[in-house]
Structure 1
Amino acid sequence: MTERLVVIGGDAAGMSAASQARRLKGPEELEIVAFERGHFSSYSACGIPYWVGGDVAGRDELIARSPEEHRARAIDLRMRTEVTEIDVPGRRVLARDLEAGTEAWTGFDKLVIATGARPRRPALPGIDAPGVHGVQTLDDGQALLDSLEGTGGRRAVVVGAGYIGVEMAEALLNRGYEVTLLHRGEQPMATLDPDMGALVHRALDGLGITTVASAEVTKILTGEDGRVRAVATDDAEYPADVVVLGMGVVPETTLAGAAGLPLGVYGGLLTDLAMRVRGHEDIWAGGDCVEVLDLVAGRERHVPLGTHANKHGQVIGANVGGDYATFPGVVGTAVSKVCDLEIARTGLREKDAREVGLRYVTVTVESTSRAGYYPGAAPMTVKMLAERRTGRLLGVQIVGREGAGKRVDIAAVALTAGMTVEAMTALDLGYAPPFSPVWDPVLIAARKATAAVRAGG
């Protein structure tokens, strides 16, 4: 008897799950129906800032697999169709065709929820005015580009200085805009400790981006035509011809919550190691709508990254298709850039360590990306956290020029393996003057952290 798999969401997690399940089971065994409310499937949302900024030639470059390609593999992908209700006891979903305006129920034997996340959009006066944009989907990116082309002004305000905010500030700068970056924290990039965020602040200033700290946006001001003209805080008004919201995202679990499925403290769906929704044998969830286990802190977190979404999809598809796979958790690795400044982190910040009751030591080292005498050697700052007494690595942050960012992967592997900083000092890393000093900057930090643990543990 043929079973039916229904997938809600046509991007990374959802279509990875559908594709993997199809590899394991043919159409005669498993019918696959997928619903996507947007115009695009299987695309890289992470690439949107680079498309907007002109580094990526066009929108289609970000699309990994079109709806037609999915359909050619016997996946019934229905675009511009939004699921509006999940009936768990009845094992069916209600979907609305956004073009035709019609609704219909579709039954399922197995269900995958991959509804992603939505940008934070506070209920401020003027927040929905023309010229104010969130950037989460390709549709959002296209709307922003259309807005940029439709305005004669060259002033942009970005609200929020996380990864998306900083990347969008650079993108708008590359398009010739005068950019103001407003954020609520002490320093930009709240995913870093403030001392490391200060390095990013300095780089933004050097690019000519005006960065305003401790700025609480109170309203979006509009002109006579109804379009945005400025962003207001408690202290000032910042003229704007376009506004980009980079205030982070929250799990899009409205449907799941209404259906009574279990949600965590961040509002994301809770799953087991097989990405099965807890308490529901035939329902899985993955991508930005779920919470995952932080292997360092030992608690669930919401970590919305495309790398995780694709892995979730592979795990789900394997389990739906009769194979077996698990997703054990994350250590919180992320990397970004501001022009030539590379920014990376993995594991815990000081704030995170305190919140979970860990006692720790910190060290910060200055080094270079290559041997100091080799042409092109660039400065790099590495901050490392280690647990007192045990010396277990807790986190690493890196800010530097070319060659800095991907060094965080050394720390990500060490965190996953539960290594101590002392054990890290013996890692047999590759060395040649064009690639690193004799002691790699991460290992220099590990040596210094080892000494700190011995002195204070």
Structure 2
Amino acid sequence: MSERLVVIGGDAAGMSAASQARRLRKPGELEIVAFERGHFSSYSACGIPYWVGGDVPVRDALIARGPEEHRARDIDLRMRTEVTELDLPGQRVRTRDLESGTEAWTGFDKLVIATGARPSRPPLPGIDAPGVHGVQTLDDGQSLIESLSRARGRRAVVVGAGYIGVEMAEALLGHGFEVTVLNRGEQPMATLDPDMGRLVHHAMDGLGIRTVGSSAVTGILTGDDGRVRAVTTDTGEFPADVVVLGMGVVPETTLARAAGLPLGAYGGLLTDLSMRVRGQENVWAGGDCVEVLDLVSGKERHIPLGTHANKHGQVIGSNVGGDYATFPGVVGTAVSKVCDLEIARTGLREKDARAVGLQYVTVTVESTSRAGYYPGAAPMTVKMLAERRSGRLLGVQIVGREGAAKRVDIAAVALTAGMTVERMTALDLGYAPPFSPVWDPVLVAARKAVAAVRAAG
């Protein structure tokens, strides 16, 4: 007898789950119905800043698989259809067609919740004025591109200096705008320790991006035409013809909360290793709406990244389709760039380690991306955290030029394996002058960390 799988959300986690389940079970065995409230499916939200900036020439290059392609694979993907209510005892969901307003109930045997995250958008005066943009969806990106072409002047303000904020600052700079980045914290990139964030701050200043720290936004001012004209903060007023909000995201779990499903400290859904929602037999969840285990701290965290979402979907689809898979957790790896500055981190920051009661040592080294005598060698700074006594690697942060960011993958593997910094020094990494000094910068930091651990007793 055929079962029905209902998927809420038509992007990375949801459609990866649907596609994997379809590979494992034929249409006569499993009917798959997916609901997506937007205009696009299976697209790369991470690529939006590069499309806005012109590095990606066309919007559709960011779409991995459109609705018709999913339907051709026997997945009934219904676009512009929003799920408005979960009836878990009755095993059904209520939907509303956003074009016609028609409402209906759809039953399920198995349910996947992949509702993603929503941008943080505080209820400030003028926050919804024309010229103020988020960058969460392809629709957002299209609206911003059109707004840039209509702007009366060439002044842009980015609110927030995290990954999206610095990437959008670069995109706006490429459009010829004078860019100011407003940040609540003292330094940009709160995912780094402040000493490493300071390096990013100096580099952004050198690129012509004005970065204002310790500045909390209090409102958006508009002109006679209703469009944005300035951003006000507790430290002053900043003229703006375009404003981009990069204040982070929060899990979109409104439906889950109303249905009484378990949520964590960050508001994300809690699941077991199979991505099944805790306490539920036939409900799974994945992507930006869930919290996942941090393998270093042992705590749940909310880390909204497309890499995780696609892995969640594969795990869910395997389990729904009758196979077996688990998602063990993450170490918190992320990379970004602003112009030619590369930024990377994995594992714990100092405040993360303190928050879970870990004692640690830190070291910081200056090195280069290639042998110092080889043309094009670029500077980089590596910061490493290691646990006192045990020497277990706890985290790495890297800021530098060409060749810096992806070196963090060495540390990500070491963290996942639970390696000590002493063991890391023996890693057999590739070497040739065009690619690395004899001692790779990450291994130089590991050697220095070994000495710090010994000195700390």
Which TM class, normalised by the smaller chain length?
over 0.9
Matching residue of 2:47: 47
* TM-score, normalization by structure 2: 1.00
Alignment match, 1:387:
387
Provide the C-alpha distance between the structure 2 equivalents of 1:286 and 1:235, rounded to a whole number of angstroms. 40
Letter in 1 for 2:455: A
1:311-352: per-residue Cα shift (whole Å, max 9, x none)? 000000000000000000000000000111100000000010
- C-alpha distance in structure 1 between counterparts of 2:226 and 2:253, whole Å: 32
In 1, the alpha carbon distance for the partners of 2:444 and 2:171 equals: 34
Q: 1:1-400 counterparts in 2 under 5 A?
A: 1-400=1-400
Task: Quote the offset at 1:224 in angstroms.
Answer: 1.1
Q: How far did 1:235 drift?
A: 2.2
How many angstroms apart in 1 are the aligned matches of 2:319 and 2:202? 47
Q: Residue deviations 1:87-138, cap 9 Å, x none?
A: 1101000010000110000000000000000000001001111111111111
Q: Does 1:446 align with 2:446?
A: yes
- Partner SS state of residue 219, structure 1: strand
2:396 aligns to what SS in structure 1?
A: strand
* AA in 2 matched with 1:35: F
Q: Give the distance between the partners of 1:371 and 1:78, measured in 2 at CA.
A: 54
Match for 1:310: what amino acid? N
1:399 is paired with a residue whose SS is strand
Structure 2 Cα separation of the partners of residues 398 and 281 of structure 1: 42
Partners of 2:202 and 2:151 lie apart in 1 by 30
Secondary structure in 2 matching 1:57: coil
* Alignment partners' CA distance in 2, 1:209 and 1:151: 19
Q: Distance in 2 between the 1:226 and 1:89 partners?
A: 47
Q: 3-state SS of the aligned residue for 1:377?
A: coil
> Which amino acid is the alignment partner of residue 59 of structure 1?
R
What secondary structure is seen at the aligned counterpart in 2 of 1:31? strand
Q: How many residues align?
A: 457
How much does 1:151 deviate? 2.0
CA distance in 2, matches of 1:168, 1:151: 16
In 2, Cα distance between equivalents of 1:218 and 1:43? 33
Per the TM alignment, residue 150 of structure 1 is displaced from its structure 2 partner at its CA by 2.2
C-alpha root-mean-square deviation of aligned residues, in Å?
Answer: 0.5
- Counterpart CA distance in 1 for 2:74 and 2:149 is 39
SS of 2:426's equivalent in the other structure is coil
Superimposed CA distance per residue, residues 367-422 of structure 1 (whole angstroms, 9 cap, x where no aligned partner): 00000001110001000000000000000000011000000000000000000000
Alignment partners' CA distance in 2, 1:81 and 1:154: 38
List runs of 5+ in structure 1 lacking aligned partners: none
Distance 2:117 2:146 in 1: 23
SS of equivalent to 1:232: strand
| TM-score normalized with structure 1 length | 1.00
Give the Å deviation of 1:139: 1.1
Q: Deviations over 1:28-73 (max 9, x none)?
A: 0000000000000000000000000000001000000000000000
Deviation of residue 234 (structure 1)?
A: 1.5
CA distance in 2: counterparts of 1:363 and 1:283, whole angstroms: 45
The DSSP-based 3-state class of the residue aligned with 1:148 is helix
CA distance in 2, matches of 1:405, 1:234: 34
Deviation (angstroms), 1:143: 1.2
